[in-house]
Copies of this chain bind each other. A is one copy, B any other.
Amino acid sequence: MQNFDYCTPTRLIFGKGIISHLPEVMKPLGKRILVTYGGGSIKKIGLYDKVMELLKDFEVFELPGIQPNPKYDPSVLNGVRMCKEHNIDVLLAVGGGSVLDCTKAIAAGAKYDGDPWDLISYKVKAKAALPIVDILTLAATGSEYDAGGVISRTETNDKIGYIDPLLYPVCSLLDPVYTFSVPKRQIAAGCADAMNHVMEQYFVEDTTLLNDGFCEAEFKSLMINTRKCLENPEDYTARAEMMLCCTYGCNGILALGNSESGWPCHGIEHALSAYYDITHGEGLAIITPRWMKHILNDRTLPRFVKYGINVFGIDSSLDKYEIANKAIEETYKFFESIGIPMHLRDVGIDESRISEMAHHIAVNEGLDHAYAPLSEKDIEKILMDSL
């Protein structure tokens, strides 16, 4: 077991109707609020009006239009400018992981005098950040309970995971009802994102019986509840369990004391969505089973065997490689069954830029130090297998 230093100070207020707590949550944080959101789905479901009504005693400014794979330019830059111009006290992100991630970068940038990219690219360490509150509308990234965000910079094909303990939300307001209108394709992509977060912590060298059990519970619950959400989008219990499963995805609680995996699938996928702006969860679902097949060997075999038996109930008396290969196949079939396009070509990616992406990943993601080390050639092979 590895040493660790862990603290997640975020308060989670969870359940039906909990949005009524918003004013009391915001009050101690300040009067001037920048509300950040995406393409307007929060208006369709009535959440925007509800938020504005609850914030009637505050001074509210708005940054709409934050896109999936949130962009440094214009969203982060505009947000930082608005915070400085209007002397904002606190940020309220209303939306999914992209809105939240973008809001985190804004929170740090607002308290920094230079170019916010200095912070995101780790050239400069942030000294302060504005407080962040969020109202989540999509179960997926876990950004509501972690200190990180992923920001894309189009002109350089960069997609960087920016992490700083200053960026934990003060409070996340989680009402599963606001996820009822999430369309099926997004439900599936959110599930794949969360499944992969758990995989990146489960497929490691050094783990514990406890952490493995936590992760296996996550896998099983995510699969069963995703199916339920797809069948009946207004199944409160399934939406609620999905939401909680996703919330635990990235703050480390599922794997305290585990060794690091290097988050290889995320490393590879970040290039895919930086170059092609595809949906992150879909990219992960496509990469994952090919990555699994590529790294399966005598050393990694026991992890796949455990995964196969405990998550998919594969007969433990079978040959070990048979169990492992079945487990990989089950993973693929699950993603396929929830409607995810399982080939890069299905999401508009052909072989033309694969070597370029493989090179970019090899240079930037440090995957030669991953649980199963990946060279540029390995990465290229995984991408080619994913076509």
**Do the beta carbons of B237 and A1 come within 8 Å of each other?**
yes
- Point out the residue from B7, B210, B216, B225 that lies within 8 Å of A244, measured CB to CB: B210
CB within 8 Å for A14 and B4 given contacts A208-B244, A210-B217, A214-B213: yes
Q: Would you call B6 and A7 a contact (CB within 8 A)? A: no
Once the chains are docked, how many angstroms separate the CA of A276 from the CA of B10?
41
Q: Chain A 96-123, CB within 8 Å of chain B: the 1/0 string?
A: 0000000000000000000000000000
- Contact bitstring A221-232, B, C-beta under 8 A = 1, else 0: 100110000000
Q: Knowing A6-B14, A14-B3, A257-B14 touch, does A217 contact B214 (C-beta < 8 A)? A: yes
Given contacts A3-B14, A14-B3, contact A221 B216 (CB under 8 A): no
Q: Is A5 interfacial (CB-CB < 8 Å)?
A: yes
**Among residues 76 to 132 in chain A, which have CB atoms less than 8 Å away from a CB atom of chain B?**
none
B residues in contact with A318, CB < 8 Å: none
Total identical chains: 2
Instruction: Name which residue of chain B comes closest to A219, CB basis.
Output: B213
Q: Is A15 interfacial (CB-CB < 8 Å)? A: yes
Asked whether A209 and B221 contact (CB < 8 A) given A253-B253, A256-B14, the answer is yes
Is A218's beta carbon under 8 Å from chain B?
yes
Interface size of A in residues (CB-CB distance below 8 Å): 41
Q: Whose C-beta in chain B lies nearest to the C-beta of A3? A: B15
B213 touches A221 (CB 8 A): yes
Alpha-carbon distance A257/B10, docked complex (angstroms):
17
On chain B, the residues within 8 Å of A208 by CB distance are 221, 237, 240-241, 244
Of A208, A212, A225, most buried by chain B (CB within 10 Å of CB) is A208
* Minimal Cβ-Cβ distance residue in B for A223: B209
- Contact, CB under 8 Å: A225 / B253: no
A27 within 8 A of B: no
Minimum distance in angstroms from A146 CB to a CB of chain B: 15
Contact of B212 with A217 in the complex, beta carbons under 8 Å: yes
Nearest chain-B residue to A239 (Cβ)?
A: B1
Contact A213/B209 with A11-B6, A15-B3 known, Cβ cut-off 8 Å: no
Answer yes or no: A245 CB below 8 A from chain B CBs. yes
